[in-house]
Amino acid sequence: MKKYLVAFVIALLPMTAVASGAGPKLDHVEIDLHNQASLQRGMQTFVNNCLGCHSAQYQRYGRAAEDLGMPIKLVEQNLLLGDQKVGQQMTNTMPKQDANKWFGNAPPDLTLEARLRGPDWIYTYLHSFYKDTERPWGVNNIIFPSVGMPNALEYLQGEQTLHCTLDELHHETGKIDPLTGKEMGGCLTISKKGQQSAEEFDRTVTDLVNFMAYIGEPSKLESHRIGTKVLIFLFLFFFVAYALKKEYWKDVH
Ligand code: HEC
């Protein structure tokens, strides 16, 4: 019995440690599916900057509006492309074959991307574009070398320049600026300013990744809501069941 119990406990241990292999260090992003304002901003950024190339074909506008607490009218007026309807999936009209020709690889559907790569990967990826005149779009990406995607958010972030090799960058130990006490990013710097400051851009990308995490698992929000109610019910029901048990067994002994 003891052996089974031990085996059972081991089986319950999370398996995430298995997946943590070598590779570039990823920045961490805090996902908060209960922050509706963040999810709404993320959806706006997604529709305005990504949906032209990437679809999110398993997500419907209407469902997102409902889950994120947005009035349908507002979504219809501001977020729908062309003559799309709110009940439709978030698709675009880019023909796959043409896209293959233009980009080398067609832009993949992003509905499940946050589950495939993880939010930290997407967050780091969107921060990691740098100028590379040898690439067709003039940019490369630190964690996705020879990427076929242009830097869609460059107008916000600005243009980044890499001053060392990728290998050196991955081993950069983060020298500390003696004046500010902050880590100096010697290898990767902003060489042309964008519309947002570094902090604003971090927030924009956090909101965007938050939204992408939501579309990867839209029912998670609902499960949380229902889950809490179920737990409260079970807690209360325990007392009822216990009282009933006492009543039944009262005369047996
Ligand atoms: C001009 C078209 C275009 C725009 C706009 C665009 N992308 Fe891409 N994206 C691509 C292409 C093409 C690829 C495939 C790159 C490759 O495989 O080399 C890609 C790849 C990606 C990937 C990696 C997919 C994977 O796992 O292999 C992510 C994540 C991504 N894009 C996110 C975004 C986000 C978020 C936005 C909006 C901020 C965006 N993209 C805007 C064209 C675009």
Q: How far, in Å, from the CA of 5 to the mean position of ligand 1?
A: 46
- Taking only the tens place, the pLDDT of each residue in 71-84 is 999 999 989 877 88
Q: How far, in Å, from the CA of 54 to the mean position of ligand 1?
A: 7
Alpha-helical runs (H) found in 172-218? 198-216
- The ligand 1 atom nearest the CA atom of 103: 12
* Model pLDDT, residue 206: 98
Q: Is 187 annotated as a binding residue?
A: no
Q: Is the pLDDT of residue 191 over 50?
A: yes
* Model pLDDT, residue 251: 86
Torsions phi, psi of 5, nearest 5?
-60, -45
Instruction: Specify the pTM.
Output: 0.83
| Ligand 1 and 207: CB distance under 6 A | no
Q: Is the pLDDT of residue 54 over 70?
A: yes
Q: Is the pLDDT of residue 135 over 80?
A: yes
- What would the mean pLDDT of 174-180 be, rounded to a whole number? 62
Give which of 120, 121, 45, 57 is closest to 84, Cα–Cα. 57
Q: How confident is the model at residue 172 (pLDDT cuts 50, 70, 90)?
A: low
d(CA 189, CA 207): 23
* Model pLDDT, residue 25: 83
Rg (CA), the chain: 24
DSSP 63: H
| Ligand 1 and 139: CB distance under 6 A | no
Q: How many CB atoms lie within 10 A of CB 209?
A: 28
* Model pLDDT, residue 187: 83
Q: Is the pLDDT of residue 112 over 90?
A: yes
Q: Which strand (E) or helix (H) includes residue 124?
A: helix 119-127
Domain residue ranges in the chain: 23-217
| Ligand 1 and 114: CB distance under 6 A | no
- Taking only the tens place, the pLDDT of each residue in 206-251 is 999 999 999 999 998 889 889 999 999 999 999 999 999 999 999 8
The CA dihedral of 57, 60, 65, 71, to the nearest 10 degrees, is 120
- CATH dotted code for 23-217: 1.10.760.10
Report strand pairing: 56-60 vs 89-90.
antiparallel
Q: How confident is the model at residue 183 (pLDDT cuts 50, 70, 90)?
A: low
Report strand pairing: 129-131 vs 188-193.
unpaired
Q: How far, in Å, from the CA of 155 to the mean position of ligand 1?
A: 16
Residue from 26, 29, 45, 54 to probe ligand 1 pocket by mutation (most atoms less than 8 Å from CB): 54
- The ligand 1 atom nearest the CA atom of 99: 12
Q: How far, in Å, from the CA of 4 to the mean position of ligand 1?
A: 47
Q: Is 53 annotated as a binding residue?
A: yes
* Model pLDDT, residue 178: 64
* Model pLDDT, residue 156: 97
Identity of the amino acid at 238: F
* Model pLDDT, residue 184: 59
CA 205 vs CA 95, 140, 217: distances in Å: 27, 18, 19
d(CA 62, CA 57): 13
d(CA 93, CA 11): 46
d(CA 136, CA 171): 28
Query: Over the chain, what is the mean pLDDT?
Result: 89
| Ligand 1 and 65: CB distance under 6 A | no
Identity of the amino acid at 44: Q
| Ligand 1 and 54: CB distance under 6 A | yes
Q: Is 164 annotated as a binding residue?
A: no
- Taking only the tens place, the pLDDT of each residue in 5-32 is 777 777 777 655 444 445 678 999 999 9
| Ligand 1 and 188: CB distance under 6 A | no
